[in-house]
Amino acid sequence: MNSLLEKETKRNDKIMKPDFKTKAGREFLAIYLHSKFKQILDYDKQSETPIFKSVHPNFIPKFTKRIINTPEKHFLIGISGESASGKTTICNTIKQVTEKLNMPVEILSADNYFKDISALIKEHGSFDNLLAAGYDVDSPNNFDMEQLYQDLSMLSRGIDVKIPQYLVNGTGIVIPQAIHKKAEKIIVVEGMATMYGKVSELFDIKLYVDIDPKIQEKWFLYRAQTSRNQNEENALKQLAYVREASKKYILPKKDLSDIIINGASSLSYFSQIINYIYVITNNFSQTN
């Protein structure tokens, strides 16, 4: 990808920047981005560990239509996948790279829209006991989907919001309107709730992060023991639950994603792709 980056930045035959306020300008942009995306895919196929596993055949026509017909809306990108597939790590990489490049990107976690279950946890004694009693934490019914839909709709219209904060400390407490999120031009939303109901229809791009089960187990156990204060026995029990929940709620929607990517691909390589996207969308000549 570095070779493509270098070639693009050294180009002497830069294209004059179209007027994206006009339909003709946006049509040009759509064709231009289509060709560049194909270039990325062709390059990726030759890499040692490709990031792109599949692209839905309807994605390009849908994305092109979106650029041309509704330019006023802010772009919503949903990132879903099983637990410990690499979603959060990928979002952290996006955040680091886009901040460095000063790209207009905001990131939020849909897991903050879990409903408050602190009373249930107190009643059962612990979160693990609640799960053992049959509480289906990953069910769409346990997310505040209406609030998530409302907040994302506002962000897509350019309106800042304050989202809830779900405390990942075993208490199940939710703090309402705790985190300010700016309506940047691009909004990246990570979490399984991006796949549920009418919320899934809001996204301009739906990414699914796929992962090998052995790598998933390794990452799940590491996260459980280092940041969630769980021992290995409890972590393995929770992983078994998570995998069963995935069969019900996540895997059936995998093929509805626009793009399926490999969660175990190099983060350095992923960063280079973001850099390349930045360059191609800012590498126009301003004058004749």
- Do 1 and 72 reside in the same domain of the chain? no
- Do 241 and 196 reside in the same domain of the chain? yes
CA distance 56 to 106: 25
Instruction: Report residue 286's pLDDT band, with 50, 70 and 90 as the boundaries.
Output: low
Render pLDDT for 193-219 as a digit per residue (tens, 0 to 9): 999 999 999 999 999 999 999 999 999
Instruction: Report residue 288's pLDDT band, with 50, 70 and 90 as the boundaries.
Output: very low
- Do 86 and 146 reside in the same domain of the chain? yes
- Do 181 and 91 reside in the same domain of the chain? yes
* pLDDT at site 136: 87
CA distance 197 to 193: 9
- Do 129 and 229 reside in the same domain of the chain? yes
Structure tokens at 180: 């300010």
- Do 33 and 151 reside in the same domain of the chain? no
- Do 94 and 162 reside in the same domain of the chain? yes
Least confident of 4-8, 236-240, 250-254, 284-288: 284-288
Instruction: Give backbone dihedrals phi and psi of 52, rounded to 5 degrees, phi first.
Output: -85, 115
- Do 136 and 246 reside in the same domain of the chain? yes
- Do 33 and 73 reside in the same domain of the chain? no
Mean pLDDT score, 86-93: 93
Instruction: Report residue 10's pLDDT band, with 50, 70 and 90 as the boundaries.
Output: confident
**C-alpha to C-alpha distances, 40 to 5, 81, 175, nearest whole angstrom:** 11, 22, 41
- Do 154 and 221 reside in the same domain of the chain? yes
- Do 155 and 259 reside in the same domain of the chain? yes
> Edge to edge, what strands does the sheet with 186-190 contain?
52-55, 259-262, 205-210, 75-81, 186-190, 105-109
CB-based contact 206:256 (threshold 8 Å): yes
Least confident of 60-64, 175-179, 222-226: 222-226
C-alpha atoms less than 13 angstroms from C-alpha of 18 in its C-beta half-sphere: 14
Q: Give the sign of the dihedral formed by CA 130, CA 133, CA 137, CA 142.
A: negative
CA distance 249 to 246: 5
- Do 129 and 210 reside in the same domain of the chain? yes
CB-based contact 27:36 (threshold 8 Å): no
Give me the CATH number covering residue 155: 3.40.50.300
- The structural domain count of the chain equals 2
Q: Print the domain residue range for 168.
A: 52-264
**C-alpha to C-alpha distances, 222 to 79, 86, 119, 161, 234, nearest whole angstrom:** 22, 13, 28, 33, 13
CB-based contact 218:86 (threshold 8 Å): no
